[in-house]
């Protein structure tokens, strides 16, 4: 064989170059194989990159949303604590002599100041608006002028619990004046006791944001008031800046909370979550720069390439060897034709072994099977992530994300919570296999009873959820009743009577918040069970 190949090469080289510039069969096979594997690798890496990007963005938005909610709760707790402490110490000034005695008032103010770390200064004023005493660590009247006269007048007019809008303090940045009224035992108005909070103090900042204002993801939080003015920001130069042009701030000004991708005026892209505090009318925002997502993805891509390139090069070398082996019978035949053209009398007809052609076919089939297997695995992965393995319906994760999208798009929709009546007794009496059969049959009936635009999913256990876009209350009831009747009328293969209890809620008629709609639907479901089950309550 080696001699024949050598002779064939000599024949080709001895010609006038008829074969020069042509692609050899070895190169064609090797090129096609390497191209196929390379494109598969590139497509896989690209799909993985996009999937990882979406997953990272979703996780980051969810993390930011939880952090914004945590800060909002800290804000509410902070001002609730302040209100309670002022209300408690207002009772200490009931007796008129304390208001008239600066020394006595200072001692009481010192107790108020030391009872909490929040206040930069505390004071007490009489009904005429005159500050009787103030305390800021040492009993002194030297800082009385730091109390904004206009805000103190507002507090005096309120004659109750008062919290000012954040204002720019001449010495310490953003500050808030908080007071409570003092009444004598006979109900006579005696004045106010109050305190000044500095938003940039370490105590306030750490209480609201923790020890770190910027985390490892470069996420940071800031707070705005109802006039869209920055109360707190990691960049002190931006304190009290007006950011009305921000679309997210516009949403907050309407009392909405949410999460979204946002591009700043400087074309910086962020993943931002925001929560509206109804206690203070403040907006709390937590945002992460998109470049962090890109950095994480690039690092992941580098690690993936590092792991993949070595086996990929091994695969390339193996492919070249296989290409040479596949092309060998055709090279032999080509050499025979060349020799036959020169000396036909000496050429022996070679035996063509069909297994070489068959292996080419098998290799093509193997590539196709590889691609099909990849698609199947991707499809299985998608089904695992979004579908319930027992019923084939959408799972809880898919339902929750669909509801969040409907809420974010401000879509009108109805929500049905469906529970199989006495399902536990089915499992107890007939076994879990029978219970699984009942779940599958109910899922099949629900899926084929609703319209094509509606969604149905298993929410957990024997509970199902049906989402009905753009339906009125009456239409929602009709659909729910149709589902109930369809299941009750069905004769399953086990001969077990099955009925449903259904509770529903409609957005925006009853609420625009998904969590509230779920609670309303759950209460309706509970009432349906109280009414004897096998019924619908909206």
pLDDT digits (tens, 9 = 90+) for 42-101: 887 777 777 877 888 888 888 888 888 888 888 888 888 888 888 888 887 776 666 666
Q: What is the pTM of this model?
A: 0.47
For residues 232 and 222, the answer to whether their CB atoms sit within 8 Å is yes
Phi, psi of 78 (to 5 degrees): -60, -50
Kindly state the tokens that stand for 271.
Answer: 């993943």
Domain-by-domain residue ranges, the chain?
61-307, 396-537
pLDDT value, residue 170: 67
Residue 466 reports pLDDT greater than 60: yes
Distances (CA, A) of 388 to 33, 59, 436: 39, 22, 12
Residue 199 reports pLDDT greater than 70: yes
Residue 174 forms beta bridges with which residues?
168
> Topology of 61-307 in CATH?
Beta-Lactamase (3.30.450)
| CATH number belonging to domain 396-537 | 3.30.70.270
215: confidence class by pLDDT, cuts 50, 70, 90: low
Q: pLDDT digit string (tens) for 363-418? A: 444 434 544 455 565 566 665 667 888 888 988 888 988 889 888 888 889 999 99
How many C-beta neighbours within 10 Å does residue 53 have? 16
Kindly state the tokens that stand for 502.
Answer: 């259904």
Better-scored residue on pLDDT, 293 or 423? 423
Mean pLDDT, residues 14-21 = 50
Which range of 300-314, 371-385, 429-443 scores highest in mean pLDDT? It is 429-443
How many C-beta neighbours within 10 Å does residue 209 have? 22
């Amino acid at each position: 064989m080696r001699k024949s190949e050598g002779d064939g090469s000599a024949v080709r080289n001895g010609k006038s170059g008829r074969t020069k510039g042509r692609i050899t069969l070895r190169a064609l096979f090797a090129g096609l194989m390497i191209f196929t594997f390379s494109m598969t690798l590139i497509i896989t890496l690209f799909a993985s990159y996009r999937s990882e990007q979406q997953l990272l963005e979703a996780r980051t938005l969810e993390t930011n949303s939880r952090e914004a909610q945590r800060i909002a709760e800290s804000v509410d707790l902070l001002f609730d604590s302040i209100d309670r402490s002022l209300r408690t110490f207002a009772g200490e000034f009931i007796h008129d002599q304390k208001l008239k005695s600066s020394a006595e008032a200072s001692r009481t103010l010192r107790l108020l100041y030391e009872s909490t770390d929040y206040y930069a200064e505390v004071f007490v004023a009489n009904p005429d608006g005159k500050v009787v005493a103030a305390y800021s660590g040492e009993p002194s009247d030297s800082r009385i002028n730091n109390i904004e006269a206009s805000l103190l007048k507002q507090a005096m007019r309120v004659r109750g619990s008062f919290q000012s809008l954040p204002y720019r303090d001449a010495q310490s940045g953003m500050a808030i004046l908080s007071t409570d009224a003092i009444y004598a035992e006979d109900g006579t108005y005696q004045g106010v006791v109050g305190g000044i909070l500095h938003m940039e103090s370490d105590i306030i900042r750490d209480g609201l944001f923790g020890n770190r204002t910027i985390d490892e993801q470069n996420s940071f939080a800031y707070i705005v008031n109802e006039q869209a003015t920055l109360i707190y920001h990691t960049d002190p130069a931006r304190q009290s800046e007006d950011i009305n042009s921000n679309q997210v701030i516009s949403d907050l000004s309407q009392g909405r909370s949410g999460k979204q991708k946002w591009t700043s005026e400087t074309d910086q892209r962020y993943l931002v979550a925001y929560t509206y505090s109804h206690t203070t009318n403040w907006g709390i925002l937590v945002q992460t720069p998109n470049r962090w997502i890109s950095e994480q993805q690039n690092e992941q891509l580098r690690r993936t390439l590092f792991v993949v390139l070595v086996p990929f090069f091994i695969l390339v070398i193996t492919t070249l060897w296989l290409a040479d082996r596949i092309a060998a019978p055709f090279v032999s035949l080509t050499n025979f034709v060349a020799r036959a053209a020169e000396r036909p009398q000496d050429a022996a007809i070679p035996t063509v072994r069909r297994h070489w052609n068959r292996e080419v076919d098998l290799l093509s089939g193997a590539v196709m099977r590889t691609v099909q297997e990849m698609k199947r695995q991707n499809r299985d992965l998608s089904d695992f992530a979004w579908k319930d393995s027992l019923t084939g319906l959408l799972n809880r994760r898919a339902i929750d994300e669909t509801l969040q999208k409907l809420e974010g798009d401000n879509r009108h929709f109805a929500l049905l919570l469906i529970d199989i009546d006495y399902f536990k007794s089915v499992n107890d009496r007939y076994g879990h296999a029978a219970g699984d059969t009942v779940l599958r049959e109910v899922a099949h009936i629900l899926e084929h009873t609703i319209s094509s635009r509606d969604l149905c999913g298993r929410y957990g256990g024997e509970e199902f959820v049906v989402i009905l876009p753009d339906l009125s209350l009456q239409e929602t009831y009709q659909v729910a009743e149709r589902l109930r009747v369809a299941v009750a009328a069905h004769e399953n293969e086990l001969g077990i009577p099955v009925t449903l209890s259904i509770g529903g809620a409609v957005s925006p008629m009853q609420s625009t918040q998904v969590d509230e709609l779920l609670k309303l639907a759950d209460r309706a479901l509970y009432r349906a069970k109280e009414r004897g089950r096998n019924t619908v309550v909206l």
